[in-house]
């Protein structure tokens, strides 16, 4: 019973972390070999414009000028989503 209560409390605290951050998203992982970054966000509260700006700045700092997203998935934290984004180069004509 104590483990269940502790686990539930931890999930509540973690979900509050994302909701209380500006824009209701946070960068949670990155893979420098594949130029990808993962974000966790609250789909009901996320400031999509702020997320897009953060992604663009992240990729730009690494020398890329395009961001491509993979479909969002449910996070292990109830009510939140997570998604991977890949930094890429725009095709120039």
In the chain, domain spans: 2-88
- pLDDT tens for the chain, 93 residues long, are 555 444 444 444 444 445 556 789 999 999 999 999 999 999 999 999 999 999 999 999 999 999 999 999 999 999 999 999 999 998 876
* pLDDT given for residue 90 in this prediction: 87
**Stated pTM of the model:** 0.74
Residue with tokens 């824009």, as numbered in its chain: 23
Residue with tokens 């909701």, as numbered in its chain: 19
Question: What does the alpha-carbon distance between residue 49 and residue 23 come to, in Å, rounded to a whole number?
Answer: 9
Question: What does the alpha-carbon distance between residue 83 and residue 68 come to, in Å, rounded to a whole number?
Answer: 11
Strand pairing report for 73-74 and 66-69: unpaired
């Amino acid at each position: 019973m104590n483990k269940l209560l502790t686990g539930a409390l931890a999930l509540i605290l973690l979900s509050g972390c994302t909701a209380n951050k500006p824009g209701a998203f946070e960068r949670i992982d990155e893979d420098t070999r594949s130029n990808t970054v993962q974000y966790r966000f609250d789909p009901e509260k996320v400031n999509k414009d702020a997320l897009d700006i953060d992604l663009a700045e992240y990729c730009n700092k690494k020398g890329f000028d395009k961001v491509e997203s993979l479909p969002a998935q449910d996070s292990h934290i109830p009510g939140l989503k997570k998604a991977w984004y890949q930094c890429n180069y725009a095709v120039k004509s």
